[in-house]
Structure 1
Amino acid sequence: MATYQNLLVVIDPESESQPALARACLLARKTRAKVTAFMCIYDFSYEMTTMLSHEERDAMRQAVLTDRAEWLQNICKTYDSPEEVETCVVWDNSVYSAAIKHAIQIKADLIIKAANSHDDLASLIFTPTDWHLLRKSPTSVLMVKQHDWPENGNVIAAVNVGTEDNQHQALNDKVTNTAKLITELLGARLHLVNAYPGTPLNLAIEIPEFDPQGYTSNVKHHHEKEMQAFAGRHGVHAEVTHVKQGLPEVAIPTVAADIDAELVVIGTIGRVGLSAALIGNTAEHVIDALNCDVLAIKPDGFQSPIKS
């Protein structure tokens, strides 16, 4: 697969430190990719200055945009990129929507953003920008945390080898191929991680003759066999494959912590609507539980609800 050529970085307007920009510049040094630093600002008070004319309000907004553009250009100069980082500052009350629109306009093949922490209750009521990007971005999204990217580190491809769904199987291949590309760029080691479910508690309770140990053993054997076949197709050695019982949001962060992974690559279908608000994607739960970066991959043909 082709390497990255066009990176869009979502800038935090409230911070001098920009870990997402640092990560983008690191990738750019290895791929010669173009980096665009994108910042979205909005202040409702400027829209409510009713004593001013429309032209005066526009002039005030433009003054703020000019000031923030200068600030961003100075920030970008402190990061080491092989080429000058392009900057874009827009006035919009929706960071994720504006970022996706600009990514589409410049044909970005990766959006990079520093991950925000959030508690479950707030996430249910006010869906964070991070989650909107994961669900609605038409391209891959790299969520950056504070973990470094050391040389000779470890990269995880999170796969679901037990699935019979064609879309998920294709996404497994895409996730693994992307992770292989990243490991080559970083000089890292690729690991494959697959989580499988434990015994359903209701079966063990409702069916007296049900053998939970035998059931769990059979499920584990099936996933180990499928992992062996999948790893073989992708040229991954058995010693760096991990088949763990449990939910992905528990199993994947556990392995990531054990091997001190610098990056987890995971597929996300990107649900929208009520089901996403109440349940959330597996990728989102994994991101919250990890202390390293997450690269969320979309399936081929994914159509974003956001248009340029």
Structure 2
Amino acid sequence: MYQRLLVVLDPHQEQQNALARAIRLARMEQASLTLFVSIYDFSYEMTTMLSGQERENMRAALVEERKAWVDELLTQYDTRHLSIDIQVVWHHRPFEAIIKCCIQGQHDLLIKGTRRHDKLQSVLFTPTDWHLLRKAPCPVLLVKEHEWPPNGQIIAAVNAGAEDSAHQSLNQRILTAADHMAQQLTAELHVINCYPSAPLNMAIEIPEFDTSDYQANVRTYHAESLSKLANERNLSHHHLHVKEGLAEDQIPALAQDIDAELVVIGTIGRTGFTAALLGNTAEHVIEQLNCDVLAIKPEGFTSPVN
């Protein structure tokens, strides 16, 4: 399913969890690896004492140093029989450099380590991870510290009640990716569908409005929709979860309850002012999880970054 893996390394991190995960995936998928590092130092651009050629030579020297660092890093892993390429680039916007490399190399999976972000900071300065979730042209696997044990648990998060073709198509892509990973890791696949609670203002403004009856009908609709989706995919009904509440609350709760190692979720790639105000469900979910997240893009998604 994944033949060309792009792995983003972070020289500032002691543990390269993404690399360890990528090497394991490359062996399972018989895929090639591209190890990518983006570097930039503003002080080199502002050095007026040096000529343009001298600055270029200094940048080239730093790039070679990073390549040597990657070579040294690889000695810690078993890389026998793996096809590995190393790319180090000088770029002031890492996410743009990553996406450009992804497009040029026609990579079908982007792998990067991640961590919890400061909430205020992430509103003012969108982290590289969020840019990649919104704009990368392929699925993005964000790696945390949770191991991938044998016979583990994987969660696919879907919106089974959606009636539009775009969401239905995305559901199928999520389930295909999750089922593939479950088979590769000999893991059990769980599917979760969240639905909203009844609006409180309806109960206040309309006294005769029966919220309990409304919620029962909504739950029934989502349960039947999820059951239908499971039947189409021959999935076990024992691992279907219909939860009332926000996805960013219910998905992490389930992941913790079953000690999941991977959550597969769709991302619509919302950008611009809307994203700054509302964010994306995938981003809110990732912040609360202690396991890896595989974010799947809609069919036909095109990156806004050239």
- Same fold per TM (> 0.5)? yes
- The equivalent of 1:213 in structure 2 is 212
Q: Supply the AA of the counterpart residue of 1:41.
A: I
Q: Supply the AA of the counterpart residue of 1:27.
A: L
- The equivalent of 1:241 in structure 2 is 240
- The equivalent of 1:174 in structure 2 is 173
Counterpart check, 1:36 vs 2:26: no
- The equivalent of 1:276 in structure 2 is 275
Task: Compute the TM-score of the two structures, normalised by the length of structure 2.
Answer: 0.98
Counterpart check, 1:56 vs 2:48: no
Counterpart check, 1:260 vs 2:255: no
- The equivalent of 1:133 in structure 2 is 132
- The equivalent of 1:15 in structure 2 is 13
Rate the CA distance shift 1:18–1:113 in 2: closer, same or farther, 3 A: same
Ranges in structure 2 where 5+ consecutive residues have no aligned partner: none
Q: CA RMSD in A?
A: 0.9
Distance 2:78 2:256 in 1: 29
Match of 1:5 among 3, 6, 12: 3
Q: Percent identity?
A: 54
Q: Please state whether the residue corresponding to 2:176 is helix, strand or coil.
A: helix
Q: CA deviation at 1:242?
A: 0.4
Q: Supply the AA of the counterpart residue of 2:141.
A: L
Q: Deviations over 1:122-143 (max 9, x none)?
A: 1110000000000000100000
Q: Supply the AA of the counterpart residue of 2:24.
A: L
Q: How does 1:34-113 map to 2 (within 5 A)?
A: 34-81=32-79, 82-113=81-112
- The equivalent of 1:297 in structure 2 is 296
- The equivalent of 1:232 in structure 2 is 231
Q: CA deviation at 1:85?
A: 2.4
Q: CA deviation at 1:119?
A: 2.0
Q: Please state whether the residue corresponding to 2:265 is helix, strand or coil.
A: strand
Q: Supply the AA of the counterpart residue of 2:48.
A: T
Q: CA deviation at 1:84?
A: 4.3
Q: Is the 8 A contact 1:139 1:298 kept in 2?
A: yes
- The equivalent of 1:200 in structure 2 is 199
Q: Deviations over 1:220-276 (max 9, x none)?
A: 111111111111111111100000110000011111111111000001110111001
- The equivalent of 2:222 in structure 1 is 223
Report how many residues are paired: 305
Distance 1:67 1:9 in 2: 18
Q: Supply the AA of the counterpart residue of 2:27.
A: R
Q: Is the 8 A contact 1:16 1:75 kept in 2?
A: no
Q: Please state whether the residue corresponding to 1:163 is helix, strand or coil.
A: coil
